[in-house]
Amino acid sequence: MTGPRIVVVGSANVDLTVISEWLPSRGETVMADQLVRAGGGKGANQAVAAARAGAEAAFVGRVGDDDFGRGILRDLAREGINTERTIVDEQTHTGVALIMVDKKGENIIGIARGANGRLRPTDVDAAHDVIETADMLLLQLEIPLDTVMAAIGTARAAGVRVLLNPAPAPSTGAPRELTGGADYLTPNSVEAVQLLRAEGGEEPEALAGRLVESGAGAVILTLGAAGACICDGEECYRVRAPQVAAVDSTGAGDCFSGVLAVALSEGMELPDAARFAACAAALCVQVPGAQPSMPRRTAIEQLFEQHEPH
């Protein structure tokens, strides 16, 4: 049996992660002993998460014509991900993320987006056949917004469902065409507030409900260790996540979105699919680095079977 076809249009980075006791404040230097260099970028992370969860995944993106870019293409191919529509851009460098993680697993991230910032609507046009034949299109917001909109347009015209992970969220709020183009929207609480330009302090149910009103088909608002709050236009409810000791939360949101796309494409109902994705994210936070921490299907299934839904 082959898995669902998931196409990701998005970013790819090399992540350089320093793991330290605490995160530095402005002007402070923190000494650390642990460095992790690994594949990252929300788009590539989601493609790896989907592939390890059983999808036939394809990645549409841009990398630089440098060692980092070549390494990314090699790593994605090793995961069985189709990179035929990933462009090697000779004009700029591969995206790089500088990350610091503290002993609670919390992080801060700075990104030089390089080639990711040059992914164009014409690149989406060139990948139209891959998008049109997919079971689901997976998007994030580390690439230009007009490219995201072009991908949404191509998918919707072909009747392909769209899962948008609106990260990082634009601080100026989200245009209705963006949220309205998503069958599934997976913000975290901070992103939900930014998308709505809300004041903060609202309950997750209120935020998710307002995002559904702004056009999204269903909103799965991720709550980290507390699971997720889901509003689908008819009702709002919560799903729980297994409680685990986190060492690095980097990529956990990507893991959730990638695995959710697989579960939904396989026909799982949304509450179970979200719980399945939450189990995957719980495994992800127990391993340092973004792509190295994406769990395999069997591990997700085992935790899903052990984990009580209520």
Q: Which residue numbers are catalytic? A: 254
Cβ proximity to ligand RIB, 147 vs 250, nearer residue = 250
Q: How many CB atoms lie within 10 A of CB 32?
A: 15
Question: 34, 37, 35, 111: which is closest to 68 by C-alpha?
Answer: 37
Q: How many CB atoms lie within 10 A of CB 49?
A: 36
Residue of 3, 4, 10, 41 interacting with ligand RIB (CB under 6 A): 41
CA–CA–CA angle 102, 12, 256 (5° rounding): 60
Q: What letter does residue 82 receive in the DSSP assignment?
A: B
Closest CB 184 distance from ligand RIB, rounded Å: 18
Tokens of 137: 């299109």
Residues contacting 133, CB < 8 A, separation 6+: 5
Q: What letter does residue 168 receive in the DSSP assignment?
A: S
Closest CB 158 distance from ligand RIB, rounded Å: 28
Asked if 270 and 231 count as a contact pair (C-beta separation under 8 A), the reply is no
Q: What is d(CA 24, CA 179) in angstroms, rounded to the nearest whole number? A: 35
Q: Does 135 bind ligand RIB (CB under 6 A)?
A: no
Q: What is d(CA 211, CA 118) in angstroms, rounded to the nearest whole number? A: 29
Q: For residue 154, how far is the Cα from the chain centroid? A: 20
Closest CB 179 distance from ligand RIB, rounded Å: 20
Residue of 186, 189, 250, 257 interacting with ligand RIB (CB under 6 A): 250
Q: Does 258 bind ligand RIB (CB under 6 A)?
A: no
Cβ proximity to ligand RIB, 160 vs 281, nearer residue = 281
Q: How many CB atoms lie within 10 A of CB 98?
A: 14
By CB under 6 A, the residues from 58 to 97 that bind ligand RIB are 97
Residue of 142, 163, 281, 295 interacting with ligand RIB (CB under 6 A): 142
Q: How many CB atoms lie within 10 A of CB 259?
A: 31
Q: Which residue is nearest to ligand RIB (CB)?
A: 40
Q: What is d(CA 240, CA 143) in angstroms, rounded to the nearest whole number? A: 31
Beta bridge partners of 17: 36, 99
Cβ proximity to ligand RIB, 73 vs 290, nearer residue = 290
Cβ proximity to ligand RIB, 123 vs 142, nearer residue = 142
- Please work out the total of residues on this chain that contact ligand RIB, with binding judged by CB under 6 A: 16
Q: Pick the stretch among 11-19, 182-190, 202-210, 276-284 that binds ligand RIB (CB under 6 A).
A: 11-19
Residue of 8, 19, 45, 151 interacting with ligand RIB (CB under 6 A): 45
Asked if 126 and 85 count as a contact pair (C-beta separation under 8 A), the reply is yes
Q: Does 109 bind ligand RIB (CB under 6 A)?
A: yes
Q: Does 254 bind ligand RIB (CB under 6 A)?
A: yes
Residue of 69, 187, 251, 258 interacting with ligand RIB (CB under 6 A): 251
Cβ proximity to ligand RIB, 109 vs 158, nearer residue = 109
Q: Pick the stretch among 2-10, 34-42, 156-164, 203-211 that binds ligand RIB (CB under 6 A).
A: 34-42
Residues near ligand RIB (CB under 6 A) are 11, 13, 15, 40-42, 45, 97, 109, 111, 142, 250-251, 253-254, 290
